[in-house]
Every structure is written in structure tokens, then in C-alpha cells.
Amino acid sequence: MLTPTFDPARNVLEATGRTFAWLMNPFSQRQFLKEHWERKPLFIQREQPGYYTDLLSFRDLDSLLASGHRRLPGVRLVKAGTDIAVHRYSPEYAQVGENLYGIVNIDRVFAEHRAGATIILEGVHRTWSPVARFCREMEVVLSQPVQANLYLTPKAAQGFEAHYDTHDVFILQVAGYKKWRIFPPRVRLPLRSQTYAGDHDTSARPLQVFELAQGDLLYIPRGYIHEAMTQSDELSAHITVGVIAYTWHDLLQETIKQICEREHTFRQSLPIGFATQGLSSTSIKRRIGKVIKRLGTSNVWEGSLGTLVDNFVSSREPILHGHLADQLQVDNIDLTTVVRIREGLIYRIQVDDKTISLAFHGKSVHFPHHVGAALHFIVVTHAFRVGSIPDCIDTAGKLVLVRRLVKEGFLTTNGPVSQDRD
């Protein structure tokens, strides 16, 4: 029987953990998490120019820029800390609220680049399959949303002036060289609302200075002020992988919200005239004391943590390579067919009195309890022949279950078998 405490990500973590190890190589993952994660920058010098070739080569970059499929807001140009006016490279763009729409004139983009502008391809985790897979595998390991932007800076140029980010970043140098100057954090681990105020002291001495060469890595925790520039002899291309962290602030905020939703006393208005007559410390202590008492109950935290988990799982965009082929072949699936869980799939299993729920791709698929052992086998085994499913359900039930999961995009018939059990 499948239970709520079952950990379905074990086998997936074994595979995706290798991605994180590859990113950190030759640095120890354990040492990174203990000494650097959210604490201090880390520079890894590899002297392996081709290290990121499978993720994004220079030829891939050229193909991305010349593909003719670039549209706003996926392209952005900046120079010396200032955005280049959009009309200069997208003459027929439209703006609706804060959103930009339009086709980018790639010839004009290259012209601005020759004049010193940095080309930014935003959201390449949505447009380039190897980067999409990499970011998803990082999300499985970290349980944090991961995004990726691509920066192409010409010779002797600087895109952004000194600033800090509200998310942690990994800088993957895929071509050329770039010099980075790191300054002490102005705000330690800033919230997303604590954006950079533009108050960096330009006369300050950097804490560290690094020159990234092709194949190198730089990790910068959120809050550390940094700036980067190319030298006079070579352009630079790097991928910035951003980790948008869920924090204790998010958990506390969700917990307080749920407490207030359950108990009307916390939804009452503040006393009439509080802004002019003040509010007694006794009243404040009494109300806050009730909140603190509620915070001491485990079921409150379990509910709010579950909400954050649901938000994370449901917000991960589907990666469905080969899904069309699966749909064409789904009726041909038989007991000898080999299927597997999609690589990097982020999902959650929950059990209640009525059903077993499998949440992924922003949806929930429900099953009766009697298929629990079969689902347990699927998530533990990861890749298998349909006939290998335990006989807790009959042959017809096995086919119905697998075909349903293939149609929904949880299982696929494509790809290698990592583990096969007859």
C-alpha cells in the first residue's frame, strides 16, 4: 500500500544528483552546501574549455541568435547599465502594461552588439532543450525554482553596473573571458522585495576578483554586490542560472495566512482610532501571543509546508519531448513494452481516505487505493516492462494504468532503461 510518507524521488535524485555533481566538479557537493551555499562566493577554475559544450556550444549560441525565432520579451539589450530602447531593434513592438510584444530584428541586434551592447536571451530554460533539462534536474535536487538567461558581451564592454540579485546565481562561462568583481553583501540574503537600491559605493575595494575562462564556474549568493566586464581582446558568453529560493519567510508568511483564514479573531479590524490614539501594548501582546500559541502546533506547519510543496510542484512547466510519438503508440502498449518515468519529472503523491493523488504538470490524477502497490512499484523502479507490475491488479488493469500515465505525460516509451525488472 502506498503511504503519504513514501519518498518517490529517491531514484530520480540518484540521476539528477549527478547533474549537480557535474556542475560543482571538482569541488565537493557536501563542502559547497556546508561552506558556500547562501554564505560566500565560490570560483571553480577548470582549464577545460569544452566543459559546457553539451549544454551550449558557441555554434549553438550562433544558431539561437540566427534562428529568426527571437521575439520580445525574450531578447534584451543593455549597455553600461542602461537598457537600449526597444524600438531600435524591434521597430514594430507593442507594449501592453509592462509587457512587450514584437519580432526582434536580429540584424539590428548585432549592430547594437558591435556598438558595445550586451545581448541577453532571457528564459533559455524555456527555449533550449539541454538547458531546460539541466535546470529541471537542478530543481529536483534543490526543491527550488531554477531559471537561466544567456549573456553575450562584446569586447571591452560592460552590461550591468554593480548590483546585487535577490536570487542565488551560478555563472557558467561558455565562451571567451569575463572579469568579475565581488563586493560584500549590502543586504544579507535579501527577500525578493528587497531589490537593489543603486547605492553602491563606486570607490569601494572589491572583496574578490575573478577572471572566468571558458569552462569555469562562479557561484554568487544573493545579496553580494557584483559587476562584470570583458577585456579588449575577446567577447564573452555565459549562462546565468538563477535559483529562486523558497525561504523560511515564505513558510512563516503562509503559516500566518492559514492561521488567519481559520480563526476570525485575527481578521478583526484594529481598534477604532488606532492611528491617532495608539494601540496598547497589552492588546498587542495578547493577540500576538495567540498567534505564537497557534504556531506551536505541528498541524499548522504541516499544512503551510504542504502548500509550498504544492506550489512548487504545480508551477514546474511540463517538458514533454517525445509525447506526440507516445500518443500515437499508446494503444500499442502491451505487457512487453518498456516504459519509464520522464526524466526530471517533479511530482507529489498524496493519499487520503478516498483516493491516491498523483500531482504533476499543474494537475492531479486520481487513482483508487487498490492500485497503490502498482504505483509504488512504478515510482520505485522508474523504468520497467509493463508485465513486471505486481499482480495486485490484473493484466487489463496494468495496461489501463500504464496507458493512462503515458497519456497524461507521467510515463514515456522513449529513452533508455535505467533499471529493468521482470
pLDDT tens digits, 38-84: 999 999 999 999 999 999 998 899 888 887 568 888 999 999 889 99
In a domain, 262, yes or no: yes
* Residue 137 contacts residue 231 (beta carbons within 8 Å): no
Q: Are residues 28 and 157 in the same domain?
A: yes
Write phi, then psi, for 185 (nearest 5 degrees).
-65, 135
Domain shared by 289 and 342, yes or no: no
Measured CA to CA, the distance from residue 245 to residue 238 in angstroms comes to 22
Cell 533499471 found at: 419
Percent of the chain with pLDDT over 90: 73
Q: Do 327 and 407 contact (CB within 8 A), yes or no? A: yes
Q: Are residues 63 and 199 in the same domain?
A: yes
Q: Which residue has the cell 529562486?
A: 244
Structurally, the chain folds into a number of domains equal to 3
Stretch 313-327: mean pLDDT, rounded?
Answer: 94
More confident residue, 255 or 296: 255
Residue 5 within a domain: no
358 within some domain: yes
Residues 146, 26 share a domain: yes
CB 340 within 8 A of CB 419: no
The verdict on 379 and 254 lying in the same domain is: no
In the sheet that holds 71-72, the strands lie side by side as: 71-72, 99-103, 94-96
Same domain, 55 and 138: yes
Structural domain boundaries enclosing 283: 248-269+279-314
Cell numbers describing residue 170: 551560478
Produce one character per residue of 393-415: b if its CB has 16 or more CB atoms within 10 Å, e if not.
beeeebbebbbebbeebbbbbee
pLDDT tens for residues 260-292? 998 898 899 988 988 888 888 888 888 888 888
User: For the range 258-263, what are the long-range contacts, defined as Cβ-Cβ under 8 Å and sequence gap of 24 or more?
Assistant: 258/300, 258/303, 258/304, 258/307, 259/291, 259/294, 259/295, 259/300, 263/294
The pLDDT of residue 184:
95
Q: What is the average pLDDT score of the chain?
A: 90
* Grid coordinates belonging to 142: 534543490
> Does 31 score more than 60 pLDDT?
yes
Q: Is residue 184 part of a domain?
A: yes
For 342-357, b/e burial (b = at least 16 CB within 10 A) is bbbbbbbbbbeeeebe
Dihedral sign computed on CA atoms, order 363, 369, 371, 374: positive
> Is residue 297 one of the residues assigned to a domain?
yes
Q: Are 363 and 315 in contact (CB under 8 A)?
A: no
Domain identity same for 305 and 329 = no
Question: Cell match 491617532: residue?
Answer: 276
User: Is there a single domain that holds both residue 307 and residue 405?
Assistant: no
Closest residue by Cα to residue 141 from 249, 32, 217: 32
Residue 114 pLDDT > 80: yes
CA–CA distance, 223 with 186 (Å, rounded to integer): 6
More confident residue, 22 or 232: 22
Segment 149-177 shows an average pLDDT of: 95
Q: Is residue 379 part of a domain?
A: yes
117 and 187 housed in the same domain: yes
Is residue 10 very low, low, confident or very high in pLDDT (cuts 50, 70, 90)? very low
Quick one: 75 and 138 in the same domain?
yes
Residue 127 sits in the same domain as residue 225: yes
Shared-domain flag, residues 341 and 229: no
